Chain A
Amino acid sequence: MAFAAFATAEAVPQAPKRASRIGWFLLAPGLAYLALFFLTPLISLLLTSLQAPDLYGDIGAYVYAFNWQNYVDVVSEYGEHILRSFGYALVATAAALLISYPIAYYIGVRCRSRPLLQSILLVLVIAPFFISFLLRTLAWKQLLSDESFIITSLKALSLMAPDAHFTGTAFAVIFGLTYNFIPFMTLPIYTTLERLDTRYLEAGADLYGSPATVFRKVTLPLSMPGVVAGTLLTFIPAAGDYVNASRDFLGGTDTAMIGNVIEANFLVLLNYPAAAALSIILMAVILAIVGVYVKRAGTEDLL
């Protein structure tokens, strides 16, 4: 699995697998749980997405139907939000990769001879996980509000237009997404780089590869599994996130992403079929992207 990039104990040859009833006994409770609380909810979601309003009921009352029109409706009404979500997620993933790769390289390769520094930096990378991500996002909102020191300074230096804002813009939402997912990107890349045999890099250099060539032809390909895992761990949750884009956090009136729309339809407007149809669309697109991406990156064995 892509995410196994985290758990990197070195596997050793095991005794041949046995077929036994004990195996099923161990497996059954967990799988039954997932069937009940992961698979059936997806089916519920699919059924809900096809519901039609109950003509004799209150708001929020629906009857089962095959109302495919729901999908047409949500795409025409929220197409913009869907595109925006994947656009934001894509930019944030690229930005997070640019920020994270050097961090991972530094910790995983450069710091090898200094294990203490390596441990400290590793702890600092995961440190953000220990403080609620909602509070971290709010911290950025305060730090970059119109009255904040940073923004007033930028305006005083004419680096920012006097009437410009940071919070409430698309830039702010992408900034927040990027920030929130840097550790998710850094850790799997670090895990692969940490195991990189540096003799390959020396061999590349001995063969007159310039540092850039060695990086492009040796380091990067060898760290691909980490890059793939990191980009997935960033892209998938970023596309479905609705905290950063929320108006109470970094978003504004026209930054709403698909997550915001699903939340509003489900929890506020009680338009369950619309929320369900949007969820199904989100999931389908993500799975398609993941499938194609993993194939193209040549890392099928990760799954």
Chain B
Amino acid sequence: MSGVGAGAALANLEAEEVRPLPSKPTRTRRLGFGRWLLPVYVTIAFVFLLIPIVYTIVFSFNDSIKSNIAWRGFTLDKWANVCVVENGAVCEAFGNSILIGVISTLVATTLGTMIAIALVRYRFRGSGAISLLLFLPMATPEVVLGAGLAAQFLAVGVPKDMLTIILAHVMFCISFVVVTVKARVASLDPALEEAGRDLYGSPVQVFWRVTFPLLMPGILAAALLSFALSFDDFIITNFNSGSVTTFPKYIYISATRGIPAEANVIASAVFLLALVAVVVAQLGHAAREKRLAR
């Protein structure tokens, strides 16, 4: 589960910039819910949504000994010495997750972008079957994807290690890349490429100088989505990782004996980084809109 929406959300942010906003603020009549009921309800829902995040961050500063359950006082120690605990097991897991995420993202984004371009631009026999093949991985529960791959690796005799994790991650990322990039390709104005051709650009030149730069925001969003999916995946990884530990797997394994505060440190750091990235992207997007509006 988990990541599925992660970058889907990012994709969503990206998509906004190409979408003309419909019917600007025509005054909505206050509908039924009452003037205050809805804001109050939404506030409560947001508190509910954010409590575990606050908890995780707060407990990254807990002066805990082994398991990080009871509050024992404030310390910056865990942030300063993340990699010391358990001979750096947390950091090793984190490093594995980053490596797997980067490689899977590169491969899945490349393959998925090619498919997306092909689907919008070219005709195929059996396009129904192709769509189904792209849709099915997203509609299959992760536990089935994980068990299926594991059964195949078992049957063929491939030992589970980093490679099998990457192979699995690329597989479940491709479809999400296709969906994200396809929307971007379908929103390109064909006149722009025509202009490129009119100016005697060769097909290759037109692609790299016109099409590709225009697709970039979509490709970037898809890459972020892939990375988020890969980084937070636990279920499929668990079936195909053998003795390799990723960050989510580390948490799952340690849950029995208690998670060290260092795991909270890493999770909090990733969270804050991602948040900053999204906020910067949003601000940039808002600034662009303002410029365009002027």
Bound-complex Cα distance A301 to B72 (A)? 55
Chain A interface helix/strand/loop/mixed: helix
Judged by a CB distance under 8 angstroms, whether B259 is at the interface is yes
Instruction: Count chain B residues whose beta carbon lies closer than 8 angstroms to a beta carbon of A.
Output: 122
Kindly count the residue-residue contacts between A and B in the assembled complex, taking CB atoms under 8 Å apart. Answer: 383
Q: Are A18 and B255 in contact (CB under 8 A)?
A: no
Q: Which of B122, B150, B188 contacts A18 (CB 8 A)?
A: B122
Q: Are B148 and A23 in contact (CB under 8 A)?
A: no
In the complex, which residues of chain A have a beta carbon less than 8 angstroms from the beta carbon of B256?
248
Q: Are A6 and B179 in contact (CB under 8 A)?
A: yes
Q: Which of B112, B133, B187, B263 contacts A12 (CB 8 A)?
A: B187
Judged by a CB distance under 8 angstroms, whether B81 is at the interface is no
Judged by a CB distance under 8 angstroms, whether B136 is at the interface is yes
Interface centre among A110, A122, A135, A242 (most CB of B within 10 A): A135
Bound-complex Cα distance A238 to B1 (A)? 8
Bound-complex Cα distance A225 to B216 (A)? 28
In the complex, which residues of chain B have a beta carbon less than 8 angstroms from the beta carbon of A267?
238-239
Q: Are A242 and B143 in contact (CB under 8 A)?
A: yes
Judged by a CB distance under 8 angstroms, whether B39 is at the interface is yes
Q: Are B140 and A99 in contact (CB under 8 A)?
A: no
A114 to chain B, nearest CB (A): 9
Q: Are B115 and A31 in contact (CB under 8 A)?
A: yes
Q: Are B9 and A139 in contact (CB under 8 A)?
A: no
Per-position binary interface string of chain A over residues 50-74, scored 1 when its CB falls under 8 Å from any chain B CB and 0 otherwise: 0000000000000000000000000
Q: Are A37 and B232 in contact (CB under 8 A)?
A: no
Q: Are A102 and B38 in contact (CB under 8 A)?
A: yes
Q: Which residues of B contact A (CB under 8 A)?
A: 1-6, 8-13, 15-16, 18-20, 22-26, 28-29, 31-33, 38-39, 41-42, 45-46, 48-53, 55-56, 59, 69, 111-112, 114-115, 117-124, 130-131, 133-145, 147-152, 154-155, 167-168, 170-171, 174-176, 178-180, 182-184, 186-190, 218, 228, 232, 234-235, 238-239, 247-248, 251-252, 255-256, 259, 263-264, 267-268, 270-271, 274-275, 278-279, 282, 286
Q: Which residues of A contact B (CB under 8 A)?
A: 1-4, 6-15, 17-20, 22-24, 26-27, 29-31, 33-35, 37-42, 44-45, 47-48, 99, 102-103, 105-106, 109-110, 112-113, 115-116, 119, 121-140, 142-143, 179-184, 187, 191, 195, 197-199, 201-202, 205, 210-212, 214-215, 219, 232-233, 236-243, 246, 248-249, 258-259, 262-263, 266-267, 272, 275-276, 279-280, 282-283, 286-287, 290, 303
Q: Give 6 A-B contacts (CB < 8 Å), ordered by A residue.
A: A7-B182, A19-B122, A102-B45, A130-B271, A135-B264, A237-B4
